Every structure is written in structure tokens, then in C-alpha cells.
Amino acid sequence: MATLCRLKLGSWMGQACRLHTSSSVSAKLHYKMLVLGGGSGGIAMSARMKRMLGAENVAVVEPSEMHYYQPIWTLVGAGAKSVNSSGRPTESVMPSGVKLVKSKVQEINPEMNVVRTDDGTEISYEYLIVALGLQLHFEKIKGLPEGFQHPKIGSNYSVQTVEKTWKALQEFKEGNALFTFPNTPIKCAGAPQKIMYLSDAYLRKTGKRSKANIKYYTSLPVIFGIKKYADSLWDIVTNRDLEVNLRQDLIEVRADKQEAVFANLDKPGETKVVEYEMLHVTPPMGPISVVKNSPLADEVGWLDLDKETLQHKKYPNVFGIGDCTNLPTSKTAAAVAAQSAVLHRTIKQVLKKEKPDKKYDGYTSCPLVTSYNTVILAEFDYNGQPLETFPIDQGKERRLMYHMKADVMPHLYWHGLLRGLWGGPGPYRKLMHLGMK
């Protein structure tokens, strides 16, 4: 990878020199603040940067026509929300006056402060915010993504496959219902089991639960990484007769035969084949290629940031937020909300030539949906310690938290976070301060 980066950097240098001989500007477009990515982190920060620097000084590079509130896909896959409710045109969520460059980022050259898009456009910047998210890798599971052409298989992690989850659940008759967690970092680490609990609730409601064997296959050695919430989840799976298989990784789907193949991570070479009537796949995930192949990446490929200030470790005019980063916390929208306030403060101080003093503590949140009307609201920090908002035991299932997840949070996302008006360590505390309990 190091050789590749040097080759890419050399290519960039050569191009920059050639451009310099014919023009004093090495790129066709220039912005004081360039934001890469129009997801939750990118839009939230572009709104904040507009207020800080003026709209004419900010641009966002994002090719997608639609912007999706992905946390709601858990409920879409269970039939509780519609997929249409999760999306809005990207242009409609952009801060007014901020330039939207409808292209895909092709290369990032932090040495020359230049980004190139897939249509050949070159954009130079003074400061850069990288908010490019991560990549789904269905193709790393043999038999996918082509297996989604068959019935009885879905995934809540893609807008193309989330409705297939609901269809598979509705058409369930009898047999095994399988839910998987891959052997990679993923966004929203609770989501693979949320759909399991919702499926259990649906099958009970429709009188099919006695004919179902619900099985959860996870690559992890635990059901959840934070002990307080893991203890509560173990009680739930025991009481509801849900089978949990630890250290099992889905490596193949034989969709024509309705078979899933799992590798035992503790016994290399050992596999087992499990038939299914329903299969929900959480795909392997990884760093996005343009970051992985740039000098901005760490040794694995994630954006290499100071975990407290969100400033790049090598390039002080580069910052990052969200799923593309190597911050050692769960990748969630709530984490983005917390990070946005810290990053805002960091950039403000860097612009003033001051040392950043606001520190991100790793706050993240995972509303663990356990039925169609209950949620365990997990909140925790870098150290895996609960960092809770409400004066109640958040390790218990609660109806209030379900309404927070299903009704309040989508509203705050569209009208708060994306406008740069909601966030902070942690964002639920700010919600309480606003009187919206």
C-alpha cells in the first residue's frame, strides 16, 4: 500500500507541476472548506461551516441523488415504516447556498490540497472534511449479491434489499430464521440483532412463532460489547427462546437451495451448512477505497484521526467525521451528532491558530429495538462505559425509548442534525435540555 500511495502521490505531483506552468491555480475550483460526502456527517458539518465561513466558501462532493436516514431501515425491514419515509432528495437537505458537486471522489491529494472527482474535475481547498462513510461488501460472501434475486433473503443495510427483509418475514411459513453479524467492523452494531427481535415479535403476532427456529450467528465472542446491555439482551434471548451462536461467520449463501454456510472462527477450516426459511444478511464492511488508497489512511484503511479532536494526525488542515474514521467507537448516527459539535469547535480553533481544547469522549448510542414497542437505549464511551442520559435504568426495555427511536429521532435528524442545530456529547442530553423529554 505504501508503494501504491507513493506512486499515486508522484502522479499527483507531476500533474500539479504541469498545471502550475500554465496557470497560477492548480485546480479549476477552489473552496476554503471542502466536504467530501453528503451523508449525515457531511451535511451536518456543511451546515455548520456555512454559518462559520459563509455559504460561498463551502462545497460538498456527493454523487447520490437521494439522502437516506438509514437508522430507520431496521423498522422498514420489519414492516413498521416505509422505505419512502427514509429518503429525501440530496439537494433538499443541502444547506442553501452551499455548492453541491454531483460527482464521486476519485483521488485525494493532501500534499497538494487537491481532490479529483470521477468526471475529471479538480477542486483545491484550504481545509478538508472527510465524511465518506464506509463500503458494504456483499461480494465477500460467496453467492452474494446475486443471491438476493431469490426470495426469503434480505438485508436492512441497503436500500435495494431492505424491503426484501420484510417480504421474507411476511412469507415465512416454518423452519429456520437466520440473522448474521460479519467478521468486520460495521455501522450500527446492534442492527443485526434488532431485526431478530422484531421478527420474533412479528411471528408471535401472526401465530407462526411455534413453527420458527430463530437463530443468531455472530462473529463476536459476546452478544453485545457493553456488559450492562449484554446482560439484558441475554435475558431476552433466553426468555424468548432465541438461539445465539457465537464466533460464527457467514461465508456462503446458496440461495437456490436456501442454505447458509458458516465458518467456526475458533476452529479454522470447520464449517457447517444451515437450511433457512428466512435469512437476514449483515454484509462485511470496510474502508471506502478512495480513503484507503490515499495518504490519509491508517494501516488498515480508515481515516487516521486524533480520537479526541477529530483532526488528522498528519495533515492539520484535514478533519473527519463518521463511519470513514478510525475512531474506536461504534459507527452510529448518534456518534456523528456528538462528533459534529466537537469537530465544529476544533475547526473554529484551528482557524484562529489555537490549539483544539474540546475532546470527543467516544460517545455513541445504539437504540436496541427489542419489539414493536420497546427499546433498550445503550449509550457508552470509548472505554465501553455506560454514558447515559436519562434518570432511569436504560438497561431495561422501555416504550418511551421506542417512541424516541421511531418518531422523535427521525424528526431531529432531518430538522436538527442535518441543519447543524443538534448534537454534542451526548446529543440526548441536549434533547433533554431543550425540554423534549
Residue matched to cell numbers 417480504: 167
Helices (H) and strands (E) in the chain, counts: 12, 21
Instruction: Check if the beta carbon of residue 169 is closer than 8 Å to that of residue 202.
Output: yes
Sign of CA dihedral 372, 373, 377, 378: negative
Q: Is residue 366 annotated as part of the catalytic site, yes or no?
A: yes
**271-275 and 259-264 strand pairing:** antiparallel
Q: Determine the longest span between alpha carbons in the chain, in angstroms.
A: 75
Q: Which letter, b or e, does each residue of 404-432 get, where b requires 16 or more Cβ atoms within 10 Å of its Cβ?
A: bbbeebbebbeebbbbbebbbbbbbbbbe
Residue with cell 465561513: 53
Burial 146-166 (b: 16+ CB within 10 A, else e): ebbebebbbbbbbeebbbbbb
Question: Could you tell me the three cell numbers for 421?
Answer: 442545530
Half-sphere exposure for 96 (CA within 13 Å, toward CB): 0
Buried b (16+ CB within 10 A) or exposed e, 170-189: eebeeebbbbbbbbebbbbb
Among the listed residues 5, 17, 188, 324, the single catalytic one is: 188
Report the distance separating Cα 369 and Cα 198, nearest Å: 7
User: Which residues are within 8 A (CB) of 10 and not within 5 positions of it... i.e. 6 or more apart?
Assistant: none
Whole-number Å distance between alpha carbons of 388 and 396: 13
Q: Which helix (H) or strand (E) holds 184?
A: none
List the one residue out of 112, 102, 119 whose CA is nearest residue 25. Answer: 112
Angle subtended at Cα 71 by Cα 275 and Cα 368, rounded to the nearest 5 degrees: 70
For residue 169, the Cα-to-chain-centroid distance in whole angstroms is 24
Measuring CA to CA, which residue among 61, 53, 59 is closest to residue 288? 61
Helices (H), 283-405: 289-292, 333-351, 399-403
Enter the DSSP assignment of 26. Answer: S
Is 188 catalytic? The answer is yes
- Which sequence positions are flagged as catalytic? 188, 366
